[in-house]
Amino acid sequence: MKKLILFIAIVIFCGTSAATAQTDTVKNRKLVEADINPEFPGGPDSMFAFLYRIIKYPKKAIRKNITGVVCAGFVVEKDGQISNVKILRDIGGGCGKEVLRVINAMPKWKPGIFNGEPVRTEFVLPITFNLESNVSEEHDREFLQNTCGEY
């Protein structure tokens, strides 16, 4: 019997991680390019642990054998809060909705830093849903390096 495994792979700053203040705004507040990127509390390993613990593969996606990468974008505010969460690429079956739920449940991040000050920074997070048990996390990371590049 095929094991159900959810592979969550993230590529920090896949695609556009920060936008320059001159060109992009979200809700009329400037986004700037950070010298130091925002970070989930405890770093990437803690984010992997959080995602593995909280995310649930949607039953509809399991029934329909839906797999693939959901890309979500959000802003890490100056105080570390997550805002403006949106799905940039969805695969259906409730996977995008689940990613929204999980990102909205995240704790405050360490904000991006520019010139020694916290700044609002855009972040793109790809999450892979995979029903196969023979795909490694390393393979997922390599695959995702170019997945959300157009966003």
Quick: pLDDT tens for 9-58. Answer: 433 333 334 433 333 444 556 777 889 999 999 999 999 999 999 999 99
Domain boundaries, the chain: 25-144
Question: Please, are residues 29 and 81 in contact by the beta-carbon 8 Å criterion?
Answer: no
Q: List CB contacts of 145: < 8 A, sequence separation 6 or more.
A: 11, 14
Pick 131 or 98 by higher pLDDT.
Answer: 98
**How do beta strands 121-129 and 68-76 pair?**
antiparallel
Residue type, 89: R
Whole-angstrom Cα distance, residue 30 to residue 89?
Answer: 24
DSSP letter for 139, please: H
Span 25-144: which CATH code?
3.30.2420.10
Residues linked to residue 68 through DSSP beta bridges, in sequence order: 129
Predicted model pTM: 0.73
pLDDT at 20: 35
Q: How far apart are CA 148 and CA 134, in angstroms?
A: 23
